A and B are shown apart, each in its own frame.
Chain A
Amino acid sequence: MFTYQFRWDVVPNNLHFIFSGMQMTLILSATTLAIAMVLGLVIAVLSMARPWPLRAFGVGFGELIRNTPVLVQLLWVYYVLPIFFEFRIDAVTAVIIGLSIYSSSFIAEAYRAGIQAVPQGHREAAQVLGLNQAQTFRRIVLPQAIRVTLPPLAANFVQLIKYSSLGAVLSVGEVTRKGMELSSSTFRPLEIFTFIAVLYFFICWPLSMSIRAWETRLARR
Chain B
Amino acid sequence: MAAESAEPIIAADGLVKHFGPVRVLEGVSLALAERDVLCVIGPSGSGKTTLLRCCALLEAPTAGTIRMRGEVIAEPAPGPETERARRRVRADIGMVFQHFHLWPHMTVLENIIEAPRLVKGASREEAVAAAEALLAKVGLSDKRDVYPQRLSGGQQQRVAIARALAMNPKVMLFDEVTSALDPELRREVLLVMRQLAAEGMTMLVVTHEMNFARQVGSRVAFMDGGVIVEEGPPRDFFQRPRTERAQRFLAQFED
Contacts and interface: CB of A to CB of B under 8 A. Distances in A.
Interface residues of B, number: 24
- Among the interface residues A122, A125, A140, A147, which one has the most CB atoms of the partner chain B within 10 A? A125
B105 A144 contact: yes
A179 B175 CA distance: 66
B104 to A, nearest CB: 7
Contacts of A143: 105
B101 A130 contact: no
Interface in B41-100: 56-58, 90-91, 93-95, 97, 99
Interface in A110-140: 119, 121-122, 124-131, 135, 139-140
Contact of A130 (B91, B99, B149): B91
B114 interface: yes
Contact of A131 (B58, B97, B99, B118): B118
A139 B118 contact: yes
A50 interface: no
Q: Which 6 A-B pairs have the closest CB atoms?
A: A130-B91, A129-B115, A121-B101, A130-B119, A125-B101, A128-B95
A135 B118 contact: yes
Contacts of A119: 101
A127 B149 CA distance: 22
A185 to B, nearest CB: 55
A121 B118 contact: no
The SS class assigned to the B binding surface is: mixed
B39 interface: no
Given A121-B99, A124-B97, A129 B164 contact: yes
- Among the interface residues B57, B99, B114, B163, which one has the most CB atoms of the partner chain A within 10 A? B114
A140 to B, nearest CB: 6
A177 B98 CA distance: 60
A221 interface: yes
Interface in A72-124: 119, 121-122, 124
B167 interface: yes
B173 to A, nearest CB: 8
A121 B115 contact: no
A125 to B, nearest CB: 4
A125 B103 contact: yes
A221 B118 CA distance: 27
Contacts of A126: 103, 115
B87 to A, nearest CB: 8
Interface in A141-168: 143-144, 147
A131 B115 contact: yes
Given A127-B58, A128-B56, A140 B91 contact: no
A140 B103 CA distance: 7
A128 B94 contact: yes
A130 B102 CA distance: 15
A126 B102 CA distance: 10
A121 B56 CA distance: 13
A129 B163 contact: yes
B158 to A, nearest CB: 15
B118 A125 contact: no
- Among the interface residues A121, A124, A127, A130, which one has the most CB atoms of the partner chain B within 10 A? A130
A130 B89 CA distance: 9
A121 B91 CA distance: 17
B105 A147 contact: yes
Nearest to A138: B118
B167 A125 contact: no
A129 B119 contact: yes
Nearest to B160: A125
Interface in B160-185: 160, 163-164, 167
B194 to A, nearest CB: 22
- Among the interface residues A129, A143, A144, which one has the most CB atoms of the partner chain B within 10 A? A129
Nearest to B90: A130
A125 B91 contact: no
